[in-house]
Structure 1
């Protein structure tokens, strides 16, 4: 927002530094987003330390995504009812406390629930800050600059999850001394760097954060809040239980998913009747917004289809250390940061259709070789393939996100941000739970009988490794299928468009309906 003299001002008309605001929230959101995948490399370590299975260890990610998915719809209400600066402050304090709780969890089987609660508390905060960052950018930058700015945000939403496994692998390898402080090779140390960043953010936040989102006077619809929490919560909880209980468990898997879907339908119908909805689902009547949102979800699912399983493959099948497995993924992580900025700028010139078609095509082709990885596949080959995939992800994510937000009138930006983020987070939670369960089931079904260990330990080890490999192959194949679907749907996107091309009339007709 600018005043008559072209100075950048907040909603109170007070000038502020837009660059400082963006840099601080990018850095802090990076620290929060880092936690989505930072534990990926540490899964084998957590399994040993807490004496738990892979499916249980993956709950550190699935429960994070579950709570995150529940919280994102609530963010639409919070962002337009509370002051931006204090919403940020509260969210970052919650995130810090969640990380602190997780890092202090006693390393024993009976204390795993404390670890999960800490992850859930962190997810509450990330569920607010993620959509809030998008909405802030929409409000403080004009449409012609949003592509480039969204490219910068790609450093957060793309690079942070990608660099997480490398950072945790480096930490877990050995003790490190940073700024005179000893960082031990413990899984607890994974949370120290984000906590330091967040502590600094909380301290300087009051001087940098400004109120840039206009407030609405509507009241909280508690029924919608309850519907949203139960609906998305039960749906995602059912998928979370799949890895532990399998698809045949009606009580813990099928029933929660069915209840969740029914309540979500009720939630949607209620939003369509309300004059001031809790979450304005009418934004999905805009075809361009809906299609780009679906494509963003598919890109996330395709990324997670490989990213969550690859560190475990490298450690359990190749026998790599946590550091080495992280280094294998490092070039891909750096690729996301570089290409996101390039793709954001390219979106301003050529639009999302061309970029997404090329990106999804490269993503599909780059995933095929993962389906044929073996026990003796060279690690530099895996590095090259992973970098290619992350190049494609970066080419797709930011242009599609910018396109989704540009497809709506600016007054519906909060609703669009929350809706887009909700779909993305739900998709991420579902795919992580799905792939974990599929991989675990394939491994269990193909693991050799235990008595073979005593008869021929070498043969047993070979068959056990092959069983794990079969599980990863299925996971990678599912990830590839998301990329193929994304390529097909990308062909139905509108051509190059900016805010002046928005189909406002179609949106207003949907709102009136």
Structure 2
């Protein structure tokens, strides 16, 4: 049985609820380990950089799979693709959960398998919701899609901190305060969704007899894989390390360039890059990349500031940011309906103005700023990010006919993944360099320990201030880019273009 916009509401809604919950559980794995790195180093007897590979390889797997999903969505039935993705997430999560502490490689392999499933579910969710909702309600559809994609990564560190803080009970099980318990909840949720999937998930999308261009497939994996790998190594190796940073980035760019040229000359491209010939899609995708960079600049650095400078625990720092994450989810759902009425340009411009206002105070953070103030300002930022992301997802896909939505979704999410990797490398390296350049001489520690500690703290603050300033600049850049968006609501189907102003 297939689903379409005219299907009975309960059948459609049941499927939507299932895929939203499963996507949330899968994406929860993306950021939970940031808090658990110290426990991993202790249990596996590994270095901090080795432990961080658990997050690095997960992001790499996501980045590699997203461009491939356009082919998978067109080639395979929706139900089969979802079941495969859930099996991958379940097996990967189970491997991570039962990994013996004597073999960290099994842990990493499990994380990679997880990321393959999650990398499929993200763009597939967007394409499915576009198909299930009529064109004039795509804003609401993207608001739903943004629910797990925004909330799960934001809640990940707080959830992990809560688990590691004390023993808890879940469905009759006792969750010990260890890193294994972090994976138990998503494992159970994915397991339940996997069992229900054959009965609830229906085939939504029409399949095509697309031919797998094996060369394009390999070029996509190698190009995006090496490029993202190079940027993930910047934090540990610096920008000048040729073998692990410069060579992968340059090599990846070359392969990506060849990949793009090949796609533009193919009659049936593996990933149709011609979607970027549509001005509204291109500008919307660029806007998404900019807001991702502005968001990640604070999203990544603020928890570190709260823990290293303010001395908060992982759980406490997560709780400071939790209201903002919840606000972001609510605003995504509401903004979807607003987009359906007024379009994306006004939402994006308003969002970037709010983002700039919410980022500006972070440029002057010090030890005396209250945690309540940080929570409030961070909440303003998350409201702004939700307005922009939801509207630009919808704006990008509304600019394309339905037969190009799979390619557009894969291209848009790939651009966001690249932007995220670039900005994480940029901000972490800049912050570290500024901190190191302003750090006091080590000899001062023996002469005047108090002065040494004070100057060390000042150096760290200067590093964070520079990062937050860069995030503010990205907010201003977003205002400029959003000005080039077409006003009003754009709806394109396979036959015509309607612009409502």
TM range (shorter): over 0.9
Relative distance call for 1:491 and 1:56 in structure 2 (3 A) is farther
**Residue pair 2:399, 2:492 contacting (<8 A) in 1 also:** no
Q: In the alignment, which residue of structure 1 is the partner of 2:301?
A: 309
Find the partner of 1:293 among 274, 285, 293. 285
Please state how far the C-alpha of 1:23 moved relative to its aligned partner.
Answer: 0.5
- Residue 29 of structure 2 is aligned with which of 24, 35, 55? 35
Contact preservation (8 Å) 1:40, 1:311: no
Further displaced range: 66-75 or 463-472: 463-472
Partner of 2:80: 86
- Does 1:211 find its partner at 2:203? yes
Structure 1 residue 130 displacement after superposition: 0.4
Q: What secondary structure sits across from 2:32 in the alignment?
A: coil
In 2: Cα distance, 1:325 partner to 1:52 partner: 25
Q: Is contact 1:69-1:429 (8 Å) kept?
A: no
1:156 aligned residue:
148
Preserved contact between residue 341 and residue 489 of structure 2 (Cα < 8 Å): no
User: Which residue is equivalent to 1:98?
Assistant: 92
Aligned twin of 2:7: 8
Contact 2:331/2:383 (<8 A) preserved: yes
CA contact (8 A) 1:284 1:290 kept: yes
Find the counterpart in structure 2 of residue 12 from structure 1. none
- Of stretches 126-135 and 44-53 in structure 1, the one that deviates more from structure 2 is 44-53
Provide the residue aligned with 1:130 in structure 2: 122
- Distance change in 2, residues 1:99/1:441 (3 Å): farther
The offset of 1:461, in angstroms, is 3.2
CA shift in 2, pair 1:113/1:31, >3 Å: same
**2:131 partner SS:** helix
Q: In the alignment, what sits opposite 1:198?
A: 190
Aligned-partner SS, 1:344: helix
SS in structure 2 opposite 1:217? coil
Give yes or no for contact 2:301–2:464 (8 Å, CA) kept in 1. yes
Tell whether the 8 Å contact from 2:165 to 2:177 is kept in structure 1 after alignment: yes
Q: Post-superposition shift, 1:210? A: 0.9
SS at match of 1:64: helix
Q: CA deviation at 1:467?
A: 3.2
Aligned counterpart for 2:219 among listed residues 203, 227, 230 = 227
Could you say if the C-alpha distance between residues 433 and 345 of structure 1 is closer, same or farther in structure 2, counting changes exceeding 3 Å? same
Deviation at 1:206, TM superposition (A): 0.5
| CA spacing shift, 1:427–1:52, aligned 2, 3 Å | farther
How far, CA to CA, are the matches of 1:343 and 1:448 in structure 2? 48
The aligned counterpart of 1:75 is: 69
Matched, 1:355 2:353: no
Q: Alpha-carbon deviations, 1:147-190, whole Å to 9, x = none?
A: 11211222111122222222122112111122322122222222
Residues 384 and 294 (structure 1), Cα distance of their counterparts in 2 relative to 1, 3 Å cut? same
Secondary structure (helix, strand or coil) at the match of 2:174 reads strand
Matched, 1:167 2:159: yes
- CA contact under 8 A between 1:168 and 1:326: conserved in structure 2? no
Aligned-pair distance for 1:220? 0.5
Unaligned runs of 5+ in 1: 10-14, 506-513
Query: What per-residue deviation string (whole Å, max 9, x for no partner) do you get for residues 445-467 of structure 1?
Result: 44445554444443343333333
Q: Work out the number of aligned pairs and report it.
A: 496
What is residue 284 of structure 1 aligned with on the other side? Answer: 276
Q: Is the 8 A contact 1:55 1:440 kept in 2?
A: no
2:326 pairs with 334, 354, 357, which one? 334
Cα separation, 2, equivalents of 1:140 and 1:164: 29
CA-to-aligned-CA distance 1:413-456 (integer Å, 9 cap, x gap): 11111111111112112222332233333344444455544444
Look up the match of 1:511. Answer: none
Contact 1:96–1:198 (8 Å) recurs in 2: yes
268-277 or 368-377: bigger deviation: 368-377
Residues 299-448 of structure 1: matches in 2 within 5 Å?
299-448=291-440
Contact 2:400 2:493 in 1 (8 A): no
How far off its partner does 1:52 sit? 6.4
Q: Give me the whole-angstrom Cα distance separating, in 2, the residues matched to 1:371 and 1:208.
A: 49
Q: Alpha carbons of 1:491 and 1:478: their partners in 2 closer, same or farther (altered >3 Å)?
A: same
Tell whether the 8 Å contact from 2:64 to 2:225 is kept in structure 1 after alignment: yes
- List aligned pairs for 1:166-185, cutoff 5 A: 166-185=158-177
Give the structure-2-normalised TM-score: 0.92
The normalised TM-score by structure 1 is: 0.90
When structure 1 is superposed on structure 2, of 474-483 and 223-232 the one drifting more is: 474-483
Indicate how the Cα distance of structure 1 residues 46 and 325 shifts in structure 2: closer, same or farther if over 3 A, else same: farther
Moved more, 277-286 or 111-120: 111-120
Structure 1 CA distance for aligned equivalents of residues 304 and 44 of structure 2: 17
After superposing the two structures, state which structure 1 stretch, 97-106 or 42-51, moved more: 42-51
**RMSD of equivalent CA atoms:** 2.4
Q: Secondary structure at the match of 2:169?
A: strand
Q: Do the aligned partners of 1:243 and 1:437 also contact (CA within 8 Å) in 2?
A: yes
Q: Distance in 2 between matches of 1:107 and 1:483?
A: 43
Equivalent in the alignment of 1:256: 248
Q: Which moved more, 1:355-364 or 1:189-198?
A: 189-198
Return the offset for 1:298.
1.5
Distance in structure 2 (CA, Å) of the matches to 1:212 and 1:80: 11
